[in-house]
Amino acid sequence: MQITDKIIENHGLTKDEYKNIQKLLKRNPNLLELGIFSAMWNEHCSYKSSRIHLKKLPTKGKQVIQGPGENAGVIDIGDEDAIIFKIESHNHPSYIEPYQGAATGVGGILRDVFTMGARPIALLNSIHFGSPSHPKTKSLLNGVVSGIGGYGNCIGIPTVAGETKFNETYNENILVNAMAVGHAKKSKIFYSKAKGVNKAVVYVGSKTGRDGIHGASMASAEFDENSEEKKPTVQVGDPFTEKLLLEACLELMRDDSIIAIQDMGAAGLTSSSVEMASKGLLGIELNLEKVPCREENMTPYEMMLSESQERMLIILEDGKENHAREIFKKWDLDFVVIGKTTNTGNLTLRYNDNLEGEIPISLLSSSAPIYEREFSKKRVPTDKIKIKDLKKIKLEDALLKILSSPNHSNKSWITNQYDQMVMCDTAQRSGSDAAVIRIHGKDKAIAVTVDSSANYCKSHPYTGGKQIVSENWRNLISVGAKPLAITNCLNFGNPENKEIMGEFAECLDGIKKACEFLNFPVVSGNVSFYNGTNNKNIDPTPVIGGVGLIKKLVQPINHMFKGNNNIIILIGKTFGHLEQSCYLKENYSIISGKPPEVNLINEKNNGEAVLNLINLNLISSAHDISSGGLITALSEMSIGSNFGVKIKKPKKLTSSIEYFFGEDQSRYILEINEKNLIEVEKILQSKNIYYEKIGFTQDNNFEIEGEMKISINDLFKVNNQWYNNY
Chain residues that interact with Mg ion, rule: CB under 5 A? 71, 112, 265
* One-letter identity of residue 36: I
44 noted as active-site residue: yes
* One-letter identity of residue 11: H
Q: Which among 535, 108, 482, 87 is positioned nearest to 311, based on CA atoms?
A: 108
Per CB under 8 A, which region of 229-237, 262-270, 275-283, 709-717 contacts another protein?
Answer: 229-237
Cβ neighbours for 654, distance < 8 A, ≥ 6 positions apart: 576
Q: Is 12 in the site for another protein (CB under 8 A)?
A: no
90 noted as active-site residue: yes
Helix, strand, or coil (residue 518): helix
Q: How far is CA 157 from CA 55, 74, 347, 499, 695, in A?
A: 33, 19, 36, 40, 41
Closest approach of another protein to the CB of residue 232, in Å: 7
Out of 187, 226, 555, 686, which residue is the one contacting another protein (CB under 8 A)?
A: 555
Report the first-to-last Cα separation within the chain, whole angstroms.
53
Closest approach of ligand ADP to the CB of residue 70, in Å: 5
CA torsion sign for 130, 135, 137, 138 is: positive
Kindly provide the residue ranges of all beta strands, DSSP E only, lying in 460-551, ordered along the sequence: 482-491, 522-528, 532-533, 536-537, 541-550
The residues pairing with 74 across neighbouring beta strands, listed in sequence order, are: 66, 84
d(CA 508, CA 493): 15
Kindly provide the residue ranges of all beta strands, DSSP E only, lying in 492-575, ordered along the sequence: 522-528, 532-533, 536-537, 541-550, 567-571
Specify the residue, 112 or 624, whose C-beta has the smaller distance to ligand ADP: 112
* One-letter identity of residue 395: L
Q: Is 250 in the site for another protein (CB under 8 A)?
A: no
Q: Is 234 in the site for another protein (CB under 8 A)?
A: yes
Residue 392, classified by CB atoms within 10 Å of its CB into exposed (0-12), middle (13-18) or buried (19+), is exposed
CB 130 within 8 Å of CB 174: yes
Specify the residue, 112 or 451, whose C-beta has the smaller distance to Mg ion: 112
Out of 117, 209, 542, 572, which residue is the one contacting another protein (CB under 8 A)?
A: 209
Per CB under 8 A, which region of 63-71, 145-153, 450-458, 584-592 contacts another protein?
Answer: 145-153
Catalytic residue chosen out of the listed positions 11, 53, 90, 92: 90
Looking only at residues 365 through 384 of this chain, which bind ligand ADP when binding is defined by CB under 6 A? none
Specify the residue, 70 or 242, whose C-beta has the smaller distance to ligand ADP: 70
Among ligand ADP, another protein, Mg ion, none, partner that 68 touches (CB below 5 to 8 angstroms by kind): ligand ADP
Binding letters toward another protein, positions 322-341, x by CB under 8 A: ---------xx---------
Specify the residue, 129 or 418, whose C-beta has the smaller distance to another protein: 418
Out of 35, 58, 68, 149, which residue is the one contacting ligand ADP (CB under 6 A)?
A: 68
Q: Is 69 in the site for ligand ADP (CB under 6 A)?
A: yes
Binding letters toward another protein, positions 281-300, x by CB under 8 A: -------------xx-----
Closest approach of Mg ion to the CB of residue 73, in Å: 12
Out of 64, 423, 486, 634, which residue is the one contacting another protein (CB under 8 A)?
A: 423
Backbone angles phi, psi at 163, to 5 degrees: -145, 150
Closest approach of another protein to the CB of residue 243, in Å: 6
Specify the residue, 29 or 107, whose C-beta has the smaller distance to another protein: 107
Q: Is 231 in the site for another protein (CB under 8 A)?
A: yes
Looking only at residues 81 through 100 of this chain, which bind ligand ADP when binding is defined by CB under 6 A? 86, 88
Specify the residue, 243 or 709, whose C-beta has the smaller distance to another protein: 243
d(CA 708, CA 646): 10
Q: Give the other-Cβ count within 10 Å of 488's Cβ.
A: 32
Label residue 183 left, alpha or beta by phi (over 0 means left) and psi (-120 to 50 means alpha): beta
Cβ neighbours for 177, distance < 8 A, ≥ 6 positions apart: 87, 88, 89, 90, 91, 105, 125, 126, 127, 450, 489, 491, 526, 543
Per CB under 8 A, which region of 420-428, 461-469, 527-535, 669-677 contacts another protein?
Answer: 420-428
CB 351 within 8 Å of CB 300: yes
d(CA 461, CA 539): 10
d(CA 430, CA 725): 21
Question: What single-letter DSSP state applies at residue 343?
Answer: S
Q: Which among 172, 194, 214 is positioned nearest to 304, based on CA atoms?
A: 214
Among ligand ADP, Mg ion, another protein, none, partner that 97 touches (CB below 5 to 8 angstroms by kind): another protein
Q: Is 524 in the site for ligand ADP (CB under 6 A)?
A: yes
Residue 391, classified by CB atoms within 10 Å of its CB into exposed (0-12), middle (13-18) or buried (19+), is exposed
Specify the residue, 171 or 241, whose C-beta has the smaller distance to another protein: 241
Specify the residue, 154 or 514, whose C-beta has the smaller distance to another protein: 154
Question: What single-letter DSSP state applies at residue 408?
Answer: T
CB 211 within 8 Å of CB 347: no
Among another protein, ligand ADP, Mg ion, none, partner that 488 touches (CB below 5 to 8 angstroms by kind): ligand ADP
Binding letters toward another protein, positions 565-604, x by CB under 8 A: ----------------------------------------
CB 171 within 8 Å of CB 440: no
d(CA 673, CA 596): 31
Among Mg ion, ligand ADP, another protein, none, partner that 154 touches (CB below 5 to 8 angstroms by kind): another protein
Binding letters toward another protein, positions 347-386, x by CB under 8 A: ----------------------------------------
Closest approach of Mg ion to the CB of residue 234, in Å: 20
Backbone angles phi, psi at 175, to 5 degrees: -115, 130
Q: Which among 11, 311, 360 is positioned nearest to 303, based on CA atoms?
A: 311
d(CA 76, CA 56): 23
- For 469, how many CA atoms within 13 A lie in the half-sphere containing its CB? 34
Specify the residue, 521 or 695, whose C-beta has the smaller distance to ligand ADP: 521
Looking only at residues 150 through 169 of this chain, which bind another protein when binding is defined by CB under 8 A? 150, 153-156
Per CB under 8 A, which region of 52-60, 65-73, 96-104, 464-472 contacts another protein?
Answer: 96-104
Closest approach of Mg ion to the CB of residue 265, in Å: 5
Instruction: State the DSSP H helix or E strand holding residue 639, giving kind and residue range, or none if neither.
Output: none
Q: Is 720 in the site for another protein (CB under 8 A)?
A: no
- State the residues that interact with another protein by CB under 8 A: 96-97, 100, 146, 149-150, 153-156, 206, 209-211, 231-232, 234-236, 238-241, 243-244, 294-295, 308-309, 331-332, 412, 415-427, 438, 553, 555-556
So which residues are the catalytic ones?
Answer: 44, 90
- State the residues that interact with ligand ADP by CB under 6 A: 45, 54, 57, 68-71, 86, 88, 112, 265-266, 488, 490, 522, 524-527
